């Protein structure tokens, strides 16, 4: 088995946290739902579904197209934005009683705490989730499960920075020689960066960000963008960004290299859930079920560069094995609690 021990403890803790919030944990998760011909037929009748997601657009569209190839007649439309934007969008739409979202994927696991608390999610457990997924990666009430995992890493452009000179830690980014040469994404847009900012501030203190803000960083929005800016050669260093985009670019031959900072790398968990008021409930469940199949999980690993928690998905050779990387602890409940304060403090420091 993989080494999940640290997260075991944590997820247990966050589950307890949920219980403490006054929501009784039901005796058992709802039973696994098989993909029956009746479900497929009902989904075909609906003909379409919408996936609100924060995963980088090309990866999301690949997942959607592979789903459509497997279930012809059910179109999957990807509605992509940063996780914080997706959260705001769903909130705004639901406040106006617009129920457009079928399935959601966020890079900020804290959002699922909020959606679950508001009673917006439908319990639905696919066979793969029931049979294969580790307990810490599925909601005890069956309302969501971990669709993807990845890290928020440091990176550099190998044409602009020699490997020997490259930063090895967060502390290295504060070196004056990187002033004006760093690109960084925004926690007000990206769930990845929100989660990472929480973990870094918790482990290294806000002093790190106070100093980083003086480095004249180029402030972009999506955590998918810093890797792309590195590949363009627009900046030499990225202070944060998606490991999975770095894998994609590197394997395409772009001059980028990943750094797993010695202080530990922020761990990001991206669950998937079905909305209770989904306009296409059957297609939504069919898609949710597809997302956790070994087929789809292998696709997001191979093509997307993501990490899978499905035990049957294999890691791609040449990438640093997930288990061997020193990670910061994820803590969705903590992010849920602090998100607003983090945004405010970040805006104050970085001025945007």
The footprint of other proteins (CB under 8 A) covers 50, 52, 56-58, 61-62, 64-65, 75-82, 84-85, 87-89, 91-93, 95-98, 100-101, 160, 181, 188-189, 216-222, 224-225, 228-229, 231-236, 254, 340, 347-348, 350-352
Q: Which two tokens stand for residue 9?
A: 């403890």
Strand, helix or coil for residue 111: helix
- Taking the complex as a whole, the smallest distance from the CB of residue 228 to other proteins amounts, in Å, to 4
Residue 188 or 261: which CB sits closer to other proteins? 188
Residue 206 or 350: which CB sits closer to other proteins? 350
Q: Which residues of 293-315 are buried (b: 16+ CB within 10 A; e: fewer)?
A: beebbbbbbebbbbbbbbeebee
- E strand or H helix at 288: helix 281-291
- Taking the complex as a whole, the smallest distance from the CB of residue 251 to other proteins amounts, in Å, to 14
Q: Rounded distance, CA 287 to CA 283, Å?
A: 6
In this structure, the dihedral spanned by the alpha carbons of residues 88, 94, 99 and 101, taken in order and rounded to 10 degrees, is: 20
- Taking the complex as a whole, the smallest distance from the CB of residue 96 to other proteins amounts, in Å, to 5
Residue 65 or 131: which CB sits closer to other proteins? 65
Residue 5 or 347: which CB sits closer to other proteins? 347
Residue 190 or 282: which CB sits closer to other proteins? 190
Under a CB-based contact definition with an 8 Å cutoff, are residues 184 and 224 in contact?
no
Q: Rounded distance, CA 197 to CA 88, Å?
A: 19
Residue 35 or 100: which CB sits closer to other proteins? 100
- Taking the complex as a whole, the smallest distance from the CB of residue 214 to other proteins amounts, in Å, to 11
- Taking the complex as a whole, the smallest distance from the CB of residue 149 to other proteins amounts, in Å, to 20
Tell me the torsion sign for CA atoms 342, 346, 331, 296: positive
Under a CB-based contact definition with an 8 Å cutoff, are residues 170 and 143 in contact?
no
Q: Rounded distance, CA 163 to CA 159, Å?
A: 10
Q: Rounded distance, CA 85 to CA 187, Å?
A: 10
- Taking the complex as a whole, the smallest distance from the CB of residue 210 to other proteins amounts, in Å, to 15
- Taking the complex as a whole, the smallest distance from the CB of residue 324 to other proteins amounts, in Å, to 30
Q: Rounded distance, CA 284 to CA 49, Å?
A: 6
Q: Rounded distance, CA 300 to CA 82, Å?
A: 18
- Dump the DSSP string for 13-40: HHHHHHHHTT-PPPSSPPPPB---HHHH
Q: Which residues contact 280 (CB under 8 A, 6 or more apart)?
A: 43, 46, 47, 48, 49, 50, 102
Under a CB-based contact definition with an 8 Å cutoff, are residues 191 and 107 in contact?
yes
Residue 40 or 114: which CB sits closer to other proteins? 114
Residue 83 or 267: which CB sits closer to other proteins? 83
Maximum pairwise Cα distance, the chain: 63
- Taking the complex as a whole, the smallest distance from the CB of residue 296 to other proteins amounts, in Å, to 16
- Taking the complex as a whole, the smallest distance from the CB of residue 207 to other proteins amounts, in Å, to 19
Residue 7 or 85: which CB sits closer to other proteins? 85
């Amino acid at each position: 088995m993989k080494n999940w021990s640290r997260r075991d403890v944590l997820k247990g803790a966050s589950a307890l946290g949920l219980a403490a919030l006054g929501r009784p944990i039901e005796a058992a998760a709802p039973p696994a739902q098989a993909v029956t011909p009746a479900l497929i037929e009902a989904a075909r009748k609906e003909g379409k579904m919408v996936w609100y997601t924060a995963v980088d657009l090309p990866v999301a569209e690949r997942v959607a197209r592979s789903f459509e190839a497997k279930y012809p007649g059910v179109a999957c439309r990807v509605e992509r934005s940063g996780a914080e934007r997706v959260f705001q969008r769903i909130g705004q739409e639901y406040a106006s009683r617009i129920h457009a979202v079928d399935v959601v994927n966020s890079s900020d696991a804290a959002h699922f705490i909020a959606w679950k608390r508001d009673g917006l999610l439908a319990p639905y457990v696919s066979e793969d989730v029931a049979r294969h997924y580790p307990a810490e990666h599925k909601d005890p009430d069956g309302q969501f499960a971990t669709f993807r995992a990845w890290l928020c890493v440091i990176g550099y452009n190998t044409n602009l920075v020699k490997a020997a000179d490259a930063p090895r830690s967060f502390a290295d980014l504060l070196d004056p020689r990187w002033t004006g040469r760093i690109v960084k994404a925004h926690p007000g847009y990206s769930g990845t960066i929100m989660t990472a900012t929480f973990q870094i501030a918790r482990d290294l203190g806000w002093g790190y960000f106070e100093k980083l803000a003086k480095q004249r960083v180029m402030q972009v929005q999506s955590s998918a963008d810093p890797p792309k800016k590195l590949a363009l050669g627009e900046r030499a260093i990225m202070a944060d960004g998606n490991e999975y985009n770095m894998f994609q670019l590197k394997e395409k031959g772009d001059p980028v290299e990943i750094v797993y900072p010695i202080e530990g790398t922020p761990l990001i968990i991206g669950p998937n859930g079905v909305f209770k008021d989904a306009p296409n409930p059957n297609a939504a469940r069919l898609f949710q079920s597809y997302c956790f199949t070994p087929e789809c999980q292998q696709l997001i690993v191979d093509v997307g560069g993501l990490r899978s928690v499905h035990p049957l998905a294999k890691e791609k050779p040449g990438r640093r094995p997930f288990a061997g990387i020193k990670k910061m602890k994820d803590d969705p409940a903590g992010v849920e609690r602090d998100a607003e304060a983090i945004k405010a403090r970040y805006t104050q420091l970085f001025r945007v």
